[in-house]
Structure 1
Amino acid sequence: MFLSFGGAVGALSTFARNIIIARLISVEDFGIAATFGITMALVQMSTGLGVDRLIVQATDGNEPKLQATVQAFNILRGVVLAIIMYAVASPIAHLFDLPELIWAFQWLAILPLITGFVHMDAARFQREMKFGPSVLVESIPQIIAVALSAPLALYFKDYRVMLWIITAQAVSTVVLSFIVAKRRYSVAIDREFLNRIFSFGWPLMLNGILLFGIFQADRGIVGIAYSMEDLGWFSAAFTLTLFPSMVFANAAQSFFMPMLSKVQDDPEKLEAGSIATIKACLMIGITISVGLSLAGPAFLLLLFGSDYVGGVAIIAWLALMQGIRMAKAGPTIVAISCGQTKLPLYANIVRSFALVFALIAVWQGWGVLGIVIGGIIGETMAVIFFLVLLSRKFGVDLSLLYKSVVVSIVLVALAIVLSSNFATGQDPVLEIAGSILLTLVALGIFLLFAMDLVKWLKQSGEGQPETQV
């Protein structure tokens, strides 16, 4: 739970940082700043081998030579990535139609070089259930970034603020990793440990590439196919809808995973817990979809400013996409709780096919909304595929979900219709108040068809989860 708190602090800090920057620079400059984030996400997510997890999970993870080899590997990875990023800075800048900013993308090459020197002791402490150091190393740099956002944005008044902020984050992460460390920093090259790093990390690297496609590719396509101003308001709307889904997904994982892990060897209790988890995530997805469909335009203009009005037309659809993604968190939690970590990977492969729909949308001239619709189709396909996998792997009776799914579809569809006709962001008090009221009504209706979820949660709280849902 402590790690989830740290993740929530990090997500909230990133959200606040983006709002501050968006308020103080132009929409076009915010779009340019977004290209830096997209580029760094591609580098980090497509080359991450999860070496911190290896230290935590390996039986010999406390071995000094393993840690030294991991740290040496991080340095080598940082050097290689720095060289590659510097070399491809020009193609990337031209891809986003920003040839005058080649220097800025070359600047980004410094970042993996800096973070390559992170001390891995914070990860090692997790083996002893000491999560404080990891939370500090993860959260404090984000908080520093928030503190620097306003003064740097006021000073530079353009996209350069993001370059300085992400550089400050990288430096502070490395410095903090050394501050919390107890073991002396060292590097070593051990062939056996290197082989283990690659064998352990390649599935995580593949999943990272898929996750980039899920979380960042839509923004990348918008940045390549349309203007930086379009990318600016799209990024603002995307950030607004992504933030609650990330926080709720982490909270749901922390809450349900321990309970499911305890009953994974009892088929009846596992099925009951699985259905309850999926219904709970579906309920949270309704909250996100209905709430942000109706209040999203008002929050977008209140938080980011009237210059981002372009995002009003798509925010209900982005809310739907994030709501479906939240629903997908249910089967993900079930699979991970039972040690089936490959199942989320398979679902993400299915989700990645949405990129085809996004490219077709660009080709057909359907605009940014077409790209978002492609994402909705991809998320829906992934959820259906994932549920079928759970049914085959664990024998989960999907008929127990039919009523909840149908009710969810009706409620969200109604919210989108109302949003299209009434949610403009021009009357924020009325729209937000109406959103709260209608969201509560939607949750009440959902629970009328999911009373078994309430019973299961009550039984679980008493330490005796129900065996039938």
Structure 2
Amino acid sequence: MTHERAALPGVQSDPQRAGASLAHRALRAALWTGASAIVVRFSNILVMAIAARIIAPEELGVYALALAVHGFVACFAAWGVTSAIGRLDLDADRLGPTVTTVTLCSSCVVAASMALAAGPIASAFQAPEAVRPIRILAVVVVIQVMSAVPAAQIQRAFRQEVAFRANVIGFVFGSATLLPLATMIHGAEAFAWSRVAAGLAIGLTMVLSLDTRYRPGWEAQFVGPLLRFGVPAAVGSLLSQLVLNVDILIIGRAMSTADLGYYMLAFNICLWPTAALGAVMDQVVLPAFSAVRRDDGDLRSTVSRAVRTVALVACPIGGFTFAFAHPLIETVYGGKWLTAAPVLSVLAAYGVLYVLGKLFDNIMIASGKTITMFVVQATVLVVLVPILIVGVRVGGLVGVGVGHILAILLVTMPAYAVAIRRATGAGIGVILRALSRPALAAVAAAGVALVATEGLTNPLAKLAVGGLVGLVVYVAVVGPQLLQLFPGRLADKRILVLATTWPLMAAKRLRQAGVDAPPWRS
């Protein structure tokens, strides 16, 4: 039993009764969360495609700086204690009031500090236009943390349909704020105010959907254990944000805000696998893995299934992004952003590796190994900073992308492989076997799609033909594994069975025909 589980109030359950229920609830939650992420992501792509034709690259670069500052500060706004509410092996009703008090007080202090430091931070990056966006995003810190406990309650209950509804409502309010303001004020400020509007809408929707709302309270006996559990996770999240955003800081110091704008666009596109899967993992992995641990389930096979599931979705997105970076940017965002295409091709691989890292982060938190997560992130940061500094000087934006990939392959993934093995028994062999088929299928699909579109000049035609050809090739290789991702009722639908297993059936028919009447033997 871990230190956190011994110190914080726990709950008991019947493993046999909980197993099937947990699997059903987790799958339902994953589908809702995936739908939410996909709908919101595609909607954001549409809005960003419109905004990219209004704002300049320099304005997006300023917003990137402000958003990086917000990401760092937000890590300590709740001190990581809300994760305790999401764990099914802990008593949320006893912890809720104390967690609420900690998050409310800390968020106000942290946000005020962020607003006061906006001027010096902007001056350090020679970007005075960033002062107001930073201060606006300080308001977002308070809003997000005030809804953090309700979000953890929804996560715990696997009520991801509420999160879906909240995200859609938040997107509507955020977009309705962004597009008009982008034509009237500085683009970075318009983006920041849209985050305020979206955060308010999401928070209110979640709070109003809860059956139980925790009022501020205080039980001193829980504060120490909560902080011992949460602070390493918060520091780990901070280090994760540093790993994620240190490139923004380095580019901001070494290059122009326009270059930073190009890089941010490419980086956001490369994280499409995370957009599709990150929300699912954040909402489902923590409660599901903690429940498997509580019930003494098979963690090794659970890790294998989780890695395979992530790879089946992330690898084809990364392969397509790598192969069609130029037509993708030109079609969606316009020709003035084509400078971002070369670095996007490099960052496509980073997007796949990053989403796997998020999965491992969640497994570490669910296993109570927050110190391990901290050590991994600290090690990565120490290695990453000099690599990125050399990369930006030698290769500009592309050099930064290559630096990210080298750091992940040389440090992050080996470190996580060791940590995951110790926590769950799933070693590097288990992880590589789960990854191999989706990765090879994605490479094959991207290669065939490139060959099929070689003679096309229209970027939209390239995307359409390449996407269709790549999809057919990918499904032909991993179809049966894809079919396993669907719930039972959908997986039994004839159209899905035919779409995902036709290559196997065709091969079987050919073998039977060869045995029955081999023409070369007649």
* TM-score category (smaller protein): 0.7 to 0.9
Please tell me whether residue 357 in structure 1 is matched to residue 394 in structure 2. Answer: no
Task: Tell me, yes or no, if the aligned pair for 1:4 and 1:254 is still in contact at 8 Å.
Answer: no
Cα drift, residue 294 of structure 1: 1.6
Task: Tell me, yes or no, if the aligned pair for 2:289 and 2:367 is still in contact at 8 Å.
Answer: no
- Sequence identity (%): 19
In structure 1, distance between residues paired with 2:169 and 2:438: 42
**1:378 — aligned with what?**
407
Q: Residues 169 and 277 (structure 1 numbering): CA distance in 2 closer, same or farther, change over 3 Å?
A: closer
**1:223 corresponds to which of 240, 252, 262:** 252
Q: Residues 340 and 132 (structure 1 numbering): CA distance in 2 closer, same or farther, change over 3 Å?
A: same
**2:328 — aligned with what?**
299
Cα drift, residue 223 of structure 1: 2.6
Q: TM-score, length-normalised on structure 2?
A: 0.71
**2:93 — aligned with what?**
62
Please tell me whether residue 36 in structure 1 is matched to residue 66 in structure 2. Answer: yes
In structure 1, distance between residues paired with 2:294 and 2:205: 38
Task: Tell me, yes or no, if the aligned pair for 2:96 and 2:214 is still in contact at 8 Å.
Answer: no
Q: Residues 103 and 270 (structure 1 numbering): CA distance in 2 closer, same or farther, change over 3 Å?
A: closer
Q: Residues 337 and 194 (structure 1 numbering): CA distance in 2 closer, same or farther, change over 3 Å?
A: closer
Task: Tell me, yes or no, if the aligned pair for 2:325 and 2:344 is still in contact at 8 Å.
Answer: yes
Partner secondary structure for residue 375 of structure 1 = helix
Task: Tell me, yes or no, if the aligned pair for 2:330 and 2:459 is still in contact at 8 Å.
Answer: no
Task: Tell me, yes or no, if the aligned pair for 1:122 and 1:180 is still in contact at 8 Å.
Answer: no
RMSD: 4.4
**1:22 — aligned with what?**
52
In structure 2, distance between residues paired with 1:457 and 1:210: 32
Please tell me whether residue 430 in structure 1 is matched to residue 430 in structure 2. Answer: no
Partner secondary structure for residue 109 of structure 1 = helix
Larger radius of gyration: 2
Task: Tell me, yes or no, if the aligned pair for 2:331 and 2:459 is still in contact at 8 Å.
Answer: no
**1:143 — aligned with what?**
172
Cα drift, residue 20 of structure 1: 3.3
**1:312 — aligned with what?**
341
Q: What code does the residue aligned with 1:54 have?
A: A
**1:74 — aligned with what?**
103
Q: What code does the residue aligned with 1:202 have?
A: V
Cα drift, residue 159 of structure 1: 2.7
What are the superposed Cα offsets for residues 417-443 of structure 1, whole Å, 9 maximum, x if unpaired? Answer: 997997998633125413542464366
Cα drift, residue 320 of structure 1: 1.2
Please tell me whether residue 441 in structure 1 is matched to residue 473 in structure 2. Answer: yes
What are the superposed Cα offsets for residues 60-104 of structure 1, whole Å, 9 maximum, x if unpaired? Answer: 4224xx544333333322331233113311221112311254344
Task: Tell me, yes or no, if the aligned pair for 1:45 and 1:205 is still in contact at 8 Å.
Answer: yes
Q: What code does the residue aligned with 1:219 have?
A: I
Q: What code does the residue aligned with 2:52 have?
A: A
Cα drift, residue 308 of structure 1: 0.6
**2:272 — aligned with what?**
243
After TM superposition, the structure 1 stretch with the greater mean CA deviation from structure 2, 281-290 or 36-45, is: 281-290
What are the superposed Cα offsets for residues 322-348 of structure 1, whole Å, 9 maximum, x if unpaired? Answer: 122345466667767766666655554
Cα drift, residue 310 of structure 1: 0.6
In structure 2, distance between residues paired with 1:300 and 1:342: 40
Please tell me whether residue 112 in structure 1 is matched to residue 144 in structure 2. Answer: no
Cα drift, residue 264 of structure 1: 9.9
Cα drift, residue 369 of structure 1: 0.9
Alignment of 1:61-210 (within 5 A): 61-63=92-94, 66-115=95-144, 117-118=146-147, 120-121=149-150, 123-124=152-153, 130-156=159-185, 158-180=187-209, 186-210=215-239
In structure 1, distance between residues paired with 2:250 and 2:73: 16
Cα drift, residue 375 of structure 1: 0.7
Cα drift, residue 202 of structure 1: 0.6
Q: Residues 56 and 326 (structure 1 numbering): CA distance in 2 closer, same or farther, change over 3 Å?
A: closer
Alignment of 1:330-345 (within 5 A): 345=374
Q: Residues 341 and 425 (structure 1 numbering): CA distance in 2 closer, same or farther, change over 3 Å?
A: farther
In structure 1, distance between residues paired with 2:327 and 2:102: 47
Q: What code does the residue aligned with 1:151 have?
A: P
**2:80 corresponds to which of 50, 58, 71:** 50
In structure 2, distance between residues paired with 1:242 and 1:291: 13
Q: Residues 17 and 217 (structure 1 numbering): CA distance in 2 closer, same or farther, change over 3 Å?
A: farther
**1:467 — aligned with what?**
none
What are the superposed Cα offsets for residues 32-77 of structure 1, whole Å, 9 maximum, x if unpaired? Answer: 22222222112113444234332343744224xx544333333322
In structure 2, distance between residues paired with 1:432 and 1:9: 20
Task: Tell me, yes or no, if the aligned pair for 2:312 and 2:482 is still in contact at 8 Å.
Answer: no
Q: Where does structure 1 lack aligned partners over 5 or more consecutive residues? A: 463-469
Task: Tell me, yes or no, if the aligned pair for 1:115 and 1:170 is still in contact at 8 Å.
Answer: yes
In structure 2, distance between residues paired with 1:221 and 1:145: 29
What are the superposed Cα offsets for residues 269-290 of structure 1, whole Å, 9 maximum, x if unpaired? Answer: 7655544543454444431232
Aligned residue pairs: how many?
A: 454
Cα drift, residue 162 of structure 1: 1.4
Q: Residues 425 and 167 (structure 1 numbering): CA distance in 2 closer, same or farther, change over 3 Å?
A: farther
In structure 1, distance between residues paired with 2:279 and 2:142: 30
After TM superposition, the structure 1 stretch with the greater mean CA deviation from structure 2, 316-325 or 73-82, is: 73-82
Q: Residues 15 and 190 (structure 1 numbering): CA distance in 2 closer, same or farther, change over 3 Å?
A: farther
In structure 2, distance between residues paired with 1:410 and 1:141: 36
